[in-house]
Structure formats: C-alpha cells, structure tokens
A and B are shown apart, each in its own frame.
Chain A
C-alpha cells in the first residue's frame, strides 16, 4: 500500500495488485453503470472522440489508475479506503473525456504551420497538405447532422413530457440535479424518473451505440 503525496498524508492509495483484484470484485450492476457512462461520454464527445469508443475510455481509465498505483506523480490514484472502485473509474472517465475534448479543441494548431513544412506524400506519391485535410474534416458534417437530428428526435419524442423536456434543457444548460430542484421546482424523484425515460429512449433508439 502506498500513501498519496496529495490530499492527505494518511490517504492510502491502492497498489497495482489491488487495482487488478478490484476488477474481479465489481458487481454486474457496477459493470453496467461503467459501460453506460462510458457510452454517454463517447456519444457526447462526437468528433472529439477521434474514433475512440467506450472500450477505449474504460481502458484509459484503468491504465491511468495503474499508472497512479506506481506511486509517482502521474496517473490517477485510487484512494481505496475512501472511494469505491466503481466511483473512482467513473470519475476517471469523466476527467479523461473532458481532457480529450480540450485536446481535440487545441489540435487545430498544427494547421497554422506553412504547408511546405507539413506536406507529406502518400503511398501513391500524392502530396497531402494539412490545410486540405482540415478542410476535409470541416466538410464532414455527419457528426453535426447527427447531433441536430438527435435533438430533433428528443424534442419530438418528449413533446408531451414536460418534465423530460425541462431536464433535457437543464442538462444542456449545464445544470446539476440540486440546481434543477431549486431552479425548476421539480422534485428529485421526478428528475430521476425523467432521466430514466431519456436514457431508455436513447438505448432503445440505438443512439448510445453510435
């Protein structure tokens, strides 16, 4: 067992063996929770996921935890006495997804370099320039259409469900559940039920496997 350099000197971080053993101790409900959360994060990332899927996100969360178990400053440390393993992985996925989004947003910087510096030849000898590739990426509006399409589908499906529409709009505005309770005058029970209906719609319509 190792002590984390951060937070508290008393905090005990899991070792590599403890992290690997914790995988075997997860319940079926926790596995489902992990997979669903990974799905939604990847679906939300859209183009910023850069062809990575929910398995990549799960794998990255674990790899980062194993890195943290080595005791150095890198990786994510699992404070095993304070946080459940499933909760740790969920938080790691949230943080990694946010990082992927930021890194995607920064990734356009290479296009600012002159073409002659970055131009490459493909196997057939055709010269490829980053600016052209960037234009191609902008032209690929599939993801954007799909996002627009999803919003329209949600609006249509929940047209008669005021609570669900309110929760959808609140989430788009970045509101948390406590903020919805006070700001929208909805009970926690109603908010949870609306979330469940939205998730069920997403799953049955196959949006989560996109």
Chain B
C-alpha cells in the first residue's frame, strides 16, 4: 500500500493547515496578500470563474447524455410493449372500447385527457392509452381484440 514518508506527511499537514488558514482569513488579509504578490484580482477571478463554469457545463452535458440514453432505452422498451397490441387500428379501437366497457372508471380519464368523444380519438391516442394501461398493469385483458 502506498504511504507518505515523514517529509511528505509533514508537508501535507502544513499545506492543509495553510489551506485552512486561507479559509479562515479575513477578506482584507486576502486582498492585501494579492496586492503584495502583484496578482491581478480581476484576471484571477476570470480564470477561476471560467474553471467553475466549464466544470458546470461538463457536468450538465454529461447528465444530458445520460438522460438521453435513459430516454432512448425507455423508448425502446415502450416500442417493445406496443408489439403486444393488436396489429390493426380497428382491432386496437375495439380493444380500448372493450376495456372502457369493462372498466367505466377509465372512460372519464381517457375522455378528460383528450377533451373529446371516443369516436373522435385518433389511432395514435388509442395506441398511447393502451400502451400506458399495459405498462401500468391495468390492461389485464387479452391483447387480441374482443368481438363484443
């Protein structure tokens, strides 16, 4: 296992101690030191600000890539789910109709969400509702259309 030797250990404690002293020092002391060392506070502020901005941007970009990957995985999952639904639009409409007949409590949700009558729902609406019901485990009916 790697270990510091006694000099490294001593320097680490001293340097960490000096970092602590920087944290505790009054603002006037920090400004006085910068002036004494000939440091341009404005240049330094810009430099550190850009380090922080860039670290923030990198982090957010990484999160975006991760979110996009998760979204695409979820999308693939949803597409797989849809394979279990009837193939034709008419069959899907019959299936949703059957579900709503069996479970009238869903009727209100479907109609409220779309603000229209059942007959006005597009196939996209119908497929979307069936898919959501299936994912939620509420489509406990055979995936094949009923002839009711």
> A residues near B, CB below 8 A?
16, 19-20, 23-24, 26-29, 31-37, 40-41, 43-48, 55, 58-60, 62-63, 66-67, 87, 90, 93-94, 97, 101, 104-109, 137, 143-144, 147-148, 150-151, 154, 168, 170-174, 176-177, 192, 195-196, 198-200, 202-204
B30 vs chain A, min Cβ distance (A): 5
CA distance A174 to B12 in the complex (A): 10
Measured between beta carbons, the chain A residues less than 8 angstroms from B21 are 177, 192, 195, 199
- Knowing A63-B55, A137-B2, A172-B14, the reply to whether A32 touches B19 (Cβ < 8 A) is no
Known: A107-B1, A174-B13. 6 other contacts (CB 8 A): A37-B22, A58-B52, A59-B54, A66-B59, A66-B60, A199-B18
Residue of A nearest to B31 (CB): A29
CA distance A204 to B36 in the complex (A): 10
Contact B5 A62 (CB under 8 A): no
Measured between beta carbons, the chain B residues less than 8 angstroms from A32 are 30-31, 34, 39, 41, 44-45, 48
> Which residue from B7, B20, B24 sits with its C-beta under 8 Å from A144?
B7
Residue of A nearest to B40 (CB): A28
Contact A195 B8 (CB under 8 A): no
A-B contact pairs, 29 of them (CB 8 A): A20-B56, A26-B45, A28-B44, A34-B48, A35-B44, A40-B19, A44-B12, A44-B14, A44-B15, A46-B11, A59-B51, A63-B59, A67-B59, A90-B23, A93-B19, A94-B16, A106-B1, A108-B2, A144-B5, A147-B10, A150-B11, A168-B14, A171-B16, A171-B18, A172-B10, A195-B18, A195-B25, A196-B25, A203-B37
A104 vs chain B, min Cβ distance (A): 6
Residue of A nearest to B52 (CB): A23
Cβ of B17 under 8 Å from chain A: yes
Contact A151 B10 (CB under 8 A): yes
Contact B1 A105 (CB under 8 A): yes
> Which residue from B2, B4, B20, B58 sits with its C-beta under 8 Å from A107?
B2
Contact A58 B59 (CB under 8 A): no
Measured between beta carbons, the chain B residues less than 8 angstroms from A48 are 2, 4, 12
